[in-house]
Amino acid sequence: MQTLIELLHNKYRSLSTGKPASYIPELAKANAQDFAIVITTVNGEQFCAGDFDKQFTLQSTSKPFIYGMALAEYGREEVISKVGVEPTGEAFNSIVELEKRTHRPYNPMINSGAIAISSLIKGNNLKNRESNMMSMFEAFAGHQLEISNDVFESEKLTAHRNRSIAHLLRHFDVIDEKIDETLDLYFKQCSILVDTKDLSMMAATLANSGVNPNTKKSAIPSKYVGDVLSLMFTCGMYDSSGEWAYSIGVPAKSGVSGAIFGVVPGEFGIAVYSPPIDEKGHSTRGVEVFKEFSHECNLSIFRKTII
């Protein structure tokens, strides 16, 4: 495993396609040469290559975890009444794509769905809700995490599209009147700082039925892990989720900071970080690593059964 990821790192570190996200000013400052690959097994063993200690913000890779938190606190029926489970062919930040009859967001992996899920975080006030949210992310990572205030403020200053989405959700009673508080929570979850080892451990926690391989503590109930992975598989890569399922075949989630993580249930989690992204918002090096790694290890959940 170590040899393979070192080979992949050496092969793709010179790839020059894509560029760091620019619509959030702080993300545009990322070093385009940063590149890391980490695999964490369900036994807690880690295999690392590249700049694996370099910190970045979760951005949309936070969405599966916050969805798991909502399921744990409210149950499937309540959560699905707010956010659907259908893929959408639209971009991750589409304003117009709500279900025609229910006006729910199509799924929790796009911005409208993630904002609706953030509105469900419990607590008496913003500080308490933020604390509850951070406790969940820390259970996945296995240690204390911090929020990048610079990225949070940068997102808050430039998030005109997300504000439009939130007001549309409020118009249809998908979220309550605490629009600014909900958006702050959403921006904060996107601004949580991790490194590639952390994200790989979080992925391994999902691979390990919601139990952190190192701390042995449950981050979410095992009965909801399948819900999270199902939506990662069908919706996690936005409007290229179908292509990802076809060519790579593992549940995954990307973020515009340049992170992608994938989950092989019962085996391991894998995370790749490299800031240059393509037009879909996926790390260009990350996509290539996942393609070759999946092929070399026969990871596709469908092709595994075809001999």
Q: Indicate which residue of 118, 238, 257, 263 is catalytic.
A: 238
Please name the residues in contact with 287: beta carbons below 8 A apart, sequence gap of 6 or more: 260, 278
Domain boundary assignment for the chain: 2-305
Please name the residues in contact with 51: beta carbons below 8 A apart, sequence gap of 6 or more: 34, 35, 36, 196, 273
Q: Which helix (H) or strand (E) holds 47?
A: strand 46-50
> Helices (DSSP H) in the chain: which residue ranges?
2-12, 63-74, 76-82, 111-118, 126-141, 149-158, 160-171, 179-190, 196-207, 225-235, 241-247, 284-297
- How many whole angstroms separate alpha carbon 19 and alpha carbon 265? 32
Q: Indicate which residue of 60, 154, 200, 240 is catalytic.
A: 60
**Does 238 qualify as catalytic in the annotation?**
yes
**Does 82 qualify as catalytic in the annotation?**
no
Q: Indicate which residue of 38, 42, 63, 118 is catalytic.
A: 63
Placement of tokens 């409208």 in the chain: 112
Q: Quick one: pLDDT band at residue 19, thresholds 50, 70, 90? A: very high
Tens digits of residue pLDDT in 62-89:
999 999 999 999 999 999 999 999 997 6
**Does 186 qualify as catalytic in the annotation?**
yes
Is the entire prediction scored with pTM above 0.85? Answer: yes
Q: Average pLDDT of the chain?
A: 94
Tens digits of residue pLDDT in 199-247:
999 999 999 999 999 999 999 999 999 999 999 999 999 889 999 999 9
CATH architecture of 2-305: 3-Layer(aba) Sandwich (3.40)
Q: What pLDDT is recorded for position 190?
A: 98
**Does 218 qualify as catalytic in the annotation?**
no
**Does 246 qualify as catalytic in the annotation?**
no
Instruction: Record the tokens describing residue 268, joined without a space.
Output: 């391991």
